[in-house]
Amino acid sequence: MRSRTMATVGAAALALSALLPGASASASPPATTSSAATTSSVAAPAVRAAAPDIPLANVKAHLSQLQTIATSNGGNRAHGRPGFRASIDFVKGKLDAAGFQTAVQSFSYNGATGYNLIADWPGGDVNNTLMVGAHLDSVTAGPGINDNGSGSAANLEVALAVAREGYKPARHLRFGWWGAEELGLIGSTHYVETLPSAERSKIKGYLNFDMVGSPNPGYFAYDGDGSSGGGGPAGSAEIERVLRAHFATINVPVEDTAFDGRSDYGPFIDYGIAAGGLFTGAEGRKTSAQAQKWGGQAGVAYDRCYHARCDTTTNINDPALDRNADAIAYTVWTLAGGTQVLDEPRAAANRAAA
Ligand code: DPN
Ligand code: ZN
Ligand code: CA
């Protein structure tokens, strides 16, 4: 966790804010520390919203819930198993209570019904939608807490922070929790392919978080700008730049990872939608150079429990999960623009009650 003020949001955010009507980033006090807006007799000014710190304890509480769901449903949260449906219902319940508009999309695969959960935050420019996703299914071997309870729980807490902060993004915000990723990106592919093309073309960016709490973590961003070869649809370079910017402020070096479609952003980039995401590593082994800059164990897998029974709540590196959750919030707030609408006492009360 960390605190952030407007002074540290970076040139990119300030440049973006300059394009937004009503924004006055350079003149406004920090949205999360000011009392000026509340003591003034005039209506609260449109303060460009700074990303909140995402409480690690909240993200970990979601992971504990997912672990309990797996434990009471045969040890996993896999496609076609009761633990997956229970995971969908758990996330949906949190989002409904926070004011999201949720929908469960069903699909059929391998003789079983699968589900995607789609959650829209009301408001913003729907013709310029930013989508944020994670796969919620595990493999059958284990509870899937790092893969991908971590991305699912971090995104859930960022979504809840959107509501808590009274965030009014300039762009429309939509979150997705995918089914059957482990069987070949089935749920996300179903979602993208069955969207009417007019709706698909309104999605101008997709952020994907799959494994963001690996126990021997690396800090990777999908190579959207092609600086390591490849690259993605137009706009992906900008997404990579914003994803990296948070880590620069906390002095954590970031490496590229292949932008090759090995997670749920694949179907989005297949349709030319700009995308990006973060990753802390799976079966690959940390090099000695990486252990020197990031700490951890050289010659050991980033996640020794990848797709295994031991991918439990103990298979999480807390600083990695915390930094990635904060980076997700920073990226959402930076790319979506907009203002904070709750007065600060209400936002503070919401944070305290969370
Ligand atoms: N797609 C991930 C899985 O669910 O197994 C692993 C992965 C994520 C690999 C991101 C590379 C990059
Ligand atoms: Zn997996
Ligand atoms: Ca790159």
More confident residue, 56 or 21: 56
Q: Give the tens place of pLDDT for each residue, 277-288.
A: 999 999 999 999
Residue 340's pLDDT band (cuts 50, 70, 90): confident
Domain boundaries, the chain: 44-353
Amino acid 295: pLDDT:
98
Which ligand ends up closest to the CA of 264? 1
Active-site positions? 181
Identify the weakest region by mean pLDDT among 183-187, 224-228, 322-326, 341-345: 341-345
pTM, full prediction:
0.87
**Cα angle, residue 244 at apex, residues 239 and 245 outer, rounded to 5°:** 100
Tell me, in angstroms, the distance from the centre of ligand 2 to residue 23's CA: 41
Amino acid 240: pLDDT:
98
Does the pLDDT of residue 31 top 70, yes or no?
A: no
Amino acid 206: pLDDT:
99
Which residues, 6 or more positions from 26, have their beta carbon under 8 angstroms from its beta carbon?
Answer: 14
Distance between CA atoms of 158 and 5, rounded to whole angstroms?
Answer: 18
Residue 341's pLDDT band (cuts 50, 70, 90): confident
Does the pLDDT of residue 86 top 80, yes or no?
A: yes
Please indicate whether residue 210, judged by its CB atom, sits closer than 6 Å to ligand 1: yes
10 Å Cβ neighbour count for 3? 11
Residue nearest to atom 11 of ligand 1 (CA): 262
Ligand 1 atom index nearest CA of 222: 12
Residue 21's pLDDT band (cuts 50, 70, 90): very low
Please indicate whether residue 322, judged by its CB atom, sits closer than 6 Å to ligand 1: no
**Architecture of the domain made up of 44-353:** 3-Layer(aba) Sandwich (3.40)
Amino acid 48: pLDDT:
74
Q: Give the tens place of pLDDT for each residue, 150-161.
A: 999 999 999 999
Amino acid 13: pLDDT:
37
Please indicate whether residue 282, judged by its CB atom, sits closer than 6 Å to ligand 1: yes
Helix segments in the chain, DSSP class H: 10-18, 36-39, 56-71, 82-98, 151-164, 186-194, 197-200, 236-249, 266-270, 288-294, 318-336, 344-353
**Contact assessment for residue 296 and residue 304, using Cβ atoms and an 8 Å cutoff:** no
Residue 69's pLDDT band (cuts 50, 70, 90): very high
Does the pLDDT of residue 17 top 70, yes or no?
A: no
**Contact assessment for residue 176 and residue 119, using Cβ atoms and an 8 Å cutoff:** yes
